[in-house]
Structure 1
Amino acid sequence: MFGRRWLEMTWRDGLFVHWAVDPALVADTLPDRLRVDTHDGDAYLGVVPFVMADIRPRGSPIGLSFPELNLRTYVEGPNGPGVYFYNLDAADRLGVAVARRLFALPYYRARVEVTRDGEAVRFSSDRTHRGAPAATFDATYEPTGDPFTPEPGSLAAFLVENYRFYARGNRLYCGEIGHDPWTLRPADAEIRTNTLFEANGFDRPKGDPIVHAADPIDVTADRIRRV
């Protein structure tokens, strides 16, 4: 269905932080052919820091690792439901350059530091991409509860069990990924700085976010294709 999966990787040190927002707020920002997906009437904006570890062509013993930070929402599109990315900030100059040059995807170079103390992770990102809006994120997070797998149809599943993504570049692009269901844990996150909303033209959402820490997960990815 999704074609040959050609990349393998492991995602680790992941955090999902989500705010409920008015669907109209999101709808105004989406490209043609995408519409807002909601859960119980709410749209969501999510900030997701994580490390993409050991990225390699399928079957290769050699891989590349770098941290990434994205702001996302959830949509219905021509190929089905998925994630829509507003930005992908990454500490990988080559990967950012290739993604922007070939697809004009919203990747930005950033200086990122990830440190661990037991189960606690500090993730600090400062965008360094020339000509792009400034964007800074600095948080420390750690799991606080028992692991669980989101129940189908639950809010947690709506927020994390997504196997397709869309991004607007010089055209609308779509990619497919594959992995086992997420293992999540309730988490505490001290977010000292987060300017991703302002960098993407949003006001900062009101209310407390929904916070989940994610166990490491092995992922395969198909080629990004024009929709």
Structure 2
Amino acid sequence: MIDRLAPSQRPPGANSGTQRWESLLFCHWEIDPAQLRPHLPAAMELDTYDGRAFVGIVPFKMRHIRPSWLPHRFAFNFLETNVRTYVVHNDRPGVYFFSLDASSRLAVMAARIGWSLPYHFARMSSEQCGDEQIYQSVRRGGHAKHRVAFRVTDHLGPSVPDSLEHFLFERYLLFVEKNRHVYCGQVHHDPYDVWSAEVTEIDDQLVTAAGLPNPQQQPALAHFSPGVDVEVFAIAR
């Protein structure tokens, strides 16, 4: 039995760092589980909601990032866009990242070395045009471009347990395979305050760059959250 609430509890002890995630856009496409499963490590199970599997693209702003030993005044910011799906390992639900693009070379280097996460350096921008927000990203070398424009619509509030929104958003564990072993990292934050979003334009190459099936251009689901303050805990086998 999968306990989907336990990972939201704060782990004991000190965190290894803090950061803030702001202006998150969650775009999700439904993909045939049989097509998605071969792209996952064998040790992880694909997590589904009523038999439905999802791939998500999440562009957002990383703010006030610092390890626990670094004074606040040295915290730094960057933009990030990740491509993800949802998995279970040892009956624990979490996120599996196919790729993460970031506008900070330091963040890319640190995450690749410290967490073995598939980060890529990219030129990225975020702008507000009237009631629309626009995220753009071009991976180093001109490969894997991404552009999305959207507007925020109806306020939904925090997700209700057992709902599809809770399944997609309230994920506090990440799993990564390193040297044929599975490692787990955990974060802690308040539940997302969620709004529905209308995607007015999207041009994505990140999903296919990860080797995944090309989804229909318009996401099946789009949501927005203003942000959360996050504690990060060390990755462990």
Kindly indicate whether the alpha-carbon contact (under 8 Å) linking 1:175 and 1:224 is maintained by their aligned counterparts in 2.
yes
Q: Which moved more, 1:176-185 or 1:143-152?
A: 143-152
Q: CA shift at 1:98, angstroms?
A: 2.2
Q: CA shift at 1:147, angstroms?
A: 3.8
Map of 2:138 onto structure 1: 126
Give TM-score scaled by structure 2 length.
0.87
Is 1:153 aligned to residue 165 of structure 2? no
User: Tell me, which stretches of 5 or more residues in structure 1 are unaligned?
Assistant: none
Distance 1:218 1:103, change over 3 A: closer
Is 1:204 aligned to residue 204 of structure 2? no
Deviations 1:65-111 (A, max 9, x none): 10000100000013711000000100110121122234432010100
Give RMSD over aligned pairs. Answer: 2.0
Q: What is the aligned-residue identity percentage?
A: 35
1-structure distance, mates of 2:152, 2:97: 25
Deviations 1:181-201 (A, max 9, x none): 111101111333101121011
Map of 2:118 onto structure 1: 106
**TM superposition outliers: structure 1 runs of 4+ over 6 Å:** none
Letter in 2 for 1:159: L
Map of 2:8 onto structure 1: none
The 3-state SS of whatever aligns with 2:143 is coil
Map of 2:145 onto structure 1: 136
Deviations 1:119-158 (A, max 9, x none): 5321000000x6xx92111011221112411110000000
Map of 2:172 onto structure 1: 163
2-structure distance, mates of 1:182, 1:71: 19
Q: CA shift at 1:23, angstroms?
A: 1.3
Kindly indicate whether the alpha-carbon contact (under 8 Å) linking 2:35 and 2:213 is maintained by their aligned counterparts in 1.
no
The 3-state SS of whatever aligns with 1:97 is helix
1-structure distance, mates of 2:187, 2:115: 18
For 1:29-44, what aligned pairs fall within 5 Å after superposition?
29-44=39-54
Kindly indicate whether the alpha-carbon contact (under 8 Å) linking 1:86 and 1:167 is maintained by their aligned counterparts in 2.
no
Map of 2:95 onto structure 1: 83
Kindly indicate whether the alpha-carbon contact (under 8 Å) linking 2:83 and 2:97 is maintained by their aligned counterparts in 1.
yes
2-structure distance, mates of 1:220, 1:85: 19
1-structure distance, mates of 2:25, 2:77: 17
Map of 1:219 onto structure 2: 230
Kindly indicate whether the alpha-carbon contact (under 8 Å) linking 1:113 and 1:123 is maintained by their aligned counterparts in 2.
yes
Map of 2:55 onto structure 1: 45
Q: CA shift at 1:174, angstroms?
A: 1.7
Kindly indicate whether the alpha-carbon contact (under 8 Å) linking 1:177 and 1:222 is maintained by their aligned counterparts in 2.
yes
2-structure distance, mates of 1:103, 1:186: 32
For 1:177-188, what aligned pairs fall within 5 Å after superposition?
177-188=187-198
2-structure distance, mates of 1:3, 1:32: 32
